[in-house]
Amino acid sequence: MKVMNTINFDAIFLIGPQGSGKGTQGKVLAKKLGFFYWEMGAILREEAKKDTLFGKKVKDLINAGQLLEDEELFRVLQMELPEVIKHKRILFDGVPRTVPQGVNLIHYLQQNGFTKFGAINMMFQKRSP
Q: What is the pLDDT along the chain (129 residues), one digit of tens a residue?
A: 455 555 789 999 998 877 777 888 889 999 999 999 999 888 999 999 999 999 999 999 988 888 888 988 888 888 899 999 899 899 999 889 889 999 999 999 999 999 999 998 887 666 656
- Position 51 in a domain: yes
- Position 29 in a domain: no
Instruction: Read off the pTM.
Output: 0.81
Supply the range of the domain harboring residue 59: 40-94
Question: How distant, in Å, are the alpha carbons of 74, 79, 101, 114, 126 from that of 10?
Answer: 20, 20, 18, 6, 33
pLDDT value, residue 75: 86
In DSSP notation, 101-126 reads HHHHHHHHHHHTT---EEEEE----P
How far apart, in whole angstroms, are the C-alpha atoms of residue 129 and residue 127? 6
Q: Is 9 helix (H, G, I), strand (E, B) or coil?
A: coil
- Position 90 in a domain: yes
The number of distinct structural domains making up the chain is 1
- Position 48 in a domain: yes
